[in-house]
Amino acid sequence: MHDVLDPDSDRGRVYRSLVGHPGEPVGRLAARAGLSEAVVQAVLKELAAEDIVVTAAPGSGEESWEALPPLQVVETLLQRDAALQTVLRQAGAELERLYRFARRDAGHYGALEVVEDAARVLSLSRQLQQSARRQIRVIDVPPYSGTSDHYLEQEVLQRERMAAGVVYRTFYHGCAFDDPIAGPNMARMIEAGEQARTLDDPPLKLAISDGDLAVVTLAADDHPGVISLLIRPSSLFRALSNVFESLWKLAVPVSAAGIGTQIDARDRQILTLMASGATDDAIARRLGLGRRTVVRRVSALLDRLGATTRFQAGVQAARRGWL
């Protein structure tokens, strides 16, 4: 949401134009912002859903738009940031308690079980997925140490659970695109229906089954390999669940199209100009292309990147090393 205050982003251009020119119809707004009408329509839809703009005259003639007061928008941003910070602090406090309990001989945290046996760690992953009735939420971070056979077995299990109606929502680290084993697995699961998003630096490796069970996987301190922390319903469980949902709102959607592939030099030029804020017309003039060609290629790039806005496309392209 912060990019609405960025004068170089599409959302920022549209909002600033409305701030200075209330009641502007889409055509004039597009010309003023230096964007195509299609892009402006998409941006207005997003901003309206986030209560940043409203239609000024929804029932009469050409639809026009009005910006909500900037101070109100900024206050909403600050309130959302404060809420996110509160959630993260709560999660940090619970994880600190978890850290201390996991390293003490005395004391007990009833909702927590520490699992160090490697075979049981893998068994926990299967148990968590097989017990889910509604959804599995996953934060998947490197290193990716599983074998090819492990990933193939996981694919079979995940397809079975999705066929049974279980929704998978997964975060991936940006580098997962380039991993020779995890990357293709990720692409196949997204094609099969997994909802996937990406973050530059996810905070922990986590899996949550419905509202019943969570597993945090950590590197072991005193020996090679990993340990798993099995967490049942508790304040810690709620904190981890809230952290997942808060991060989900901030992350960028991923599509299977284009994962593990490269783009040609012309598309890279288009993406670079898009990321700099250039309009379709400006890109066409700069590269000597027809406007329709640019619109078509921009649309294809948005699809490949799983992005709904040009801003998201720039973020995704940068994460994949395309820029």
- 3-class SS of residue 139: strand
Is the N-terminal amide bond of 233 cis, ω within 30° of 0? no
Report angle CA 189, 193, 197 to the nearest 5 degrees. 75
- Asked if residue 202 has pLDDT above 50, the reply is yes
Instruction: Read off the pLDDT of each residue in 32-56 and give the average, rounded to a whole number.
Output: 86
Rounded Cα distance, 117 and 294, in Å: 55
Q: What is the pLDDT of residue 148?
A: 72
What backbone torsions phi and psi does residue 34 show, to the nearest 5 degrees? Answer: 70, 35
What backbone torsions phi and psi does residue 147 show, to the nearest 5 degrees? Answer: -80, 170
- Asked if residue 47 has pLDDT above 80, the reply is yes
Residue 138 or 71, more confident: 138
Rounded Cα distance, 192 and 187, in Å: 9
Rounded Cα distance, 138 and 190, in Å: 13
pLDDT tens-digit map of 119-172? 787 888 888 899 899 999 999 887 666 677 777 888 999 999 999 999 999 988
Q: What Å distances lie between residue 120 and 54, 128, 186, 235, CA to CA?
A: 54, 12, 24, 25
Q: Output the six-digit token pair for 198.
A: 């990406």
Q: What is the pLDDT of residue 106?
A: 45
Burial class (CB in 10 A: 0-12, 13-18, 19+), 3: middle
